[in-house]
């Protein structure tokens, strides 16, 4: 036994030990809206004992600040917004998730997804940063170079803090998701993932999220995904859910087509902006999860990370 352990130790490259000891393994997850970045990143972070940072929520806080101050996107107000971001305190807290059925996995497989709380100057804005008003404005605010510069500073300092936060990160490293993490924020990330799914699959997932929140609110049941964090529903979110989703659209709520249009507009703005547009980093691994279970995408990324850290794969038999 001891002999086997020592031979494993001998075979483990020095760089892997350095990474494990220095706690500096970074996983960048980029992709279009509603491709599953944040729920996947949170589950991967919990599996690996890493810290997690949802960079989209920082841009959403910037947008909320702009809305609150009445600053107009595209009307010369961006300098002010960058100033507001610089003087604000933004914190992202993760609370370990319980084992619950994964989204997209009906009946089989269970995986834990932590809840996330976003604090803006100490105020819990987790829900407020996901309103339709913020959705509409966020891509325009995120297109501004001075806003991006201010957010970049926050992203890097939160990542530094997450790596040393014992409660969130027990075995080193950080997972960050967004649009430009692998290309701009952490171009040297040890693992880069580009998560994608068909436009219709993504719109249906968002619609399902919305409708489950509506029915939970009506029933007085607290959302299983935590405060606006985007996962944990036990429901069928496959492409085949399309027709039933359309049929079930409650009066006054956006249809799947409305959501698809909103996602498309935001993707267009994110892909075509001048500063740090959404791009697939040349060294990123592309995962299209249109027909993949949530569990499979988490296990795939966890094992890729383990391999690169010099650790044995964990989920070959699952």
Ligand X SMILES: Nc1ccn([C@H]2C[C@H](O)[C@@H](COP(=O)(O)OP(=O)(O)O)O2)c(=O)n1
Ligand Y SMILES: Nc1ncnc2c1ncn2[C@@H]1O[C@H](COP(=O)(O)OP(=O)(O)O)[C@@H](O)[C@H]1O
Residue 96 has a CB neighbour count (10 Å cut-off) of 13
Q: Whose Cβ is closer to ligand X: residue 143's or residue 303's?
A: 143
Q: Whose Cβ is closer to ligand Y: residue 71's or residue 210's?
A: 210
> Which of ligand Y, ligand X, none does residue 139 bind (CB under 5 to 8 Å by kind)?
ligand X
**Binding site residues, ligand Y, CB under 6 A:** 31, 33-39, 103-104, 205, 209, 230-231, 237, 289, 292-294, 297
Stretch that binds ligand X, among 33-41, 74-82, 187-195, 251-259 (CB under 6 A): 33-41
To the nearest whole angstrom, how small is the minimum distance from the Cβ of residue 275 to ligand Y? 20
How far is the C-alpha of 142 from the C-alpha of 78, rounded, in Å? Answer: 10
Contacts of 3 (CB under 8 A, 6+ apart): none
Task: Say if residues 79 and 86 touch (Cβ distance below 8 Å).
Answer: no
HEC sequence for the chain:
CHHHHHHHHHHCCHHHHHHHHHCCCEEEEECCCCCCHHHHHHHHHHHHCCEEEEHHHHHHHHHHHHHHHCCCCCCCCHHHHHHHHHHCCEEEEEECCCEEECCCCCCCCEEECCEEEEEECCEECCCHHHCHHHHHHHHHHHCCHHHHHHHHHHHHHHHHHHHCCCCCCCCCCEEEEECCHHHHHCCCCCEEEEEECCHHHHHHHHHHHHHHHHHHHHHCCCCCCCCCCCCCCCCCCCHHHHHHHHHCCCCCCCCHHHHHHHHHHHHHHHHHCCCCCCCCCCCCEEEECCCCCHHHHHHHHHHHHHHHCCCCCCCCCC
How far is the C-alpha of 207 from the C-alpha of 253, rounded, in Å? Answer: 9
Binding mask 195-224 for ligand X (x = CB under 6 A): ------------------------------
Residues in 230-289 that interact with ligand X by CB under 6 A:
266, 270
Q: Whose Cβ is closer to ligand X: residue 19's or residue 213's?
A: 213
Binding test (CB under 6 A) with ligand X, winner from 28, 29, 50, 56:
56
Q: Whose Cβ is closer to ligand X: residue 180's or residue 196's?
A: 180
Q: Whose Cβ is closer to ligand Y: residue 19's or residue 296's?
A: 296
CA angle 141, 145, 151 (to 5 degrees): 70
Per the structure block, which two tokens stand in for 115? 């809840």
Q: Whose Cβ is closer to ligand Y: residue 34's or residue 44's?
A: 34
Binding test (CB under 6 A) with ligand X, winner from 60, 78, 192, 296:
60
Residue 132 has a CB neighbour count (10 Å cut-off) of 10
Q: Whose Cβ is closer to ligand Y: residue 8's or residue 271's?
A: 271
To the nearest whole angstrom, how small is the minimum distance from the Cβ of residue 271 to ligand X? 10
Binding test (CB under 6 A) with ligand X, winner from 28, 29, 34, 256:
34
Stretch that binds ligand X, among 55-63, 75-83, 219-227, 285-293 (CB under 6 A): 55-63
> Which of ligand Y, ligand X, none does residue 270 bind (CB under 5 to 8 Å by kind)?
ligand X
28 makes contact with ligand X (CB under 6 A): no
> Which of ligand Y, ligand X, none does residue 280 bind (CB under 5 to 8 Å by kind)?
none
> Which of ligand Y, ligand X, none does residue 212 bind (CB under 5 to 8 Å by kind)?
none
Q: Whose Cβ is closer to ligand Y: residue 39's or residue 46's?
A: 39
Binding test (CB under 6 A) with ligand X, winner from 39, 40, 55, 183:
55
Count of residues of this chain found to bind ligand X when the rule CB under 6 A is applied? 17
Interface residues with ligand X (CB under 6 A)?
33-34, 38, 55-57, 59-60, 138-139, 142, 178-181, 266, 270
């Amino acid at each position: 036994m001891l002999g086997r352990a020592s031979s494993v130790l001998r075979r483990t490259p020095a760089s892997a030990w350095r990474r494990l000891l220095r706690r500096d393994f970074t996983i960048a997850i980029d992709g279009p809206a509603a491709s599953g970045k944040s729920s996947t990143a949170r589950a991967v972070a919990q599996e690996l004992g890493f810290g997690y940072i949802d960079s989209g929520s920082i841009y959403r806080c910037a947008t909320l600040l702009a809305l609150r101050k009445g600053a107009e996107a595209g009307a010369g107000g961006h300098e002010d917004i960058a100033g507001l971001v610089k003087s604000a305190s933004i914190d992202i807290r993760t609370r370990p998730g319980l084992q619950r059925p994964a989204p997209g996995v009906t009946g089989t497989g269970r995986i834990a997804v932590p809840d996330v709380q976003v604090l803006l100057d100490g105020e819990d804005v987790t829900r407020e940063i996901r309103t339709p008003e913020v959705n509409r404005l966020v891509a325009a605010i995120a297109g501004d170079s001075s806003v991006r510069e201010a957010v970049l500073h926050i992203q890097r300092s939160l990542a530094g803090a997450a790596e040393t936060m014992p409660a969130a990160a027990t075995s080193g490293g950080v997972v960050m998701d967004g649009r430009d993490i692998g290309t701009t924020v952490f171009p040297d990330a040890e693992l880069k993932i580009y998560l994608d799914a068909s436009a219709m699959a993504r719109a249906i997932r968002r619609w399902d999220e919305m409708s489950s929140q509506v029915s939970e609110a009506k029933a007085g049941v607290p959302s299983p995904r935590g405060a606006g964090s985007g996962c944990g529903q036990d429901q069928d979110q496959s492409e085949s859910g399309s027709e039933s989703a359309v049929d079930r659209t409650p009066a006054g709520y956006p249809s799947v087509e409305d959501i698809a249009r909103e996602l498309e507009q935001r993707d267009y703005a994110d892909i075509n902006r001048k500063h740090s547009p959404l791009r697939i980093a040349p060294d990123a691994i592309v995962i299209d999860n249109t027909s993949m279970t949530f569990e499979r995408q988490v296990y795939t990324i966890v094992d890729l990370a383990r391999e690169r850290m010099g650790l044995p794969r964990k989920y070959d038999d699952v």
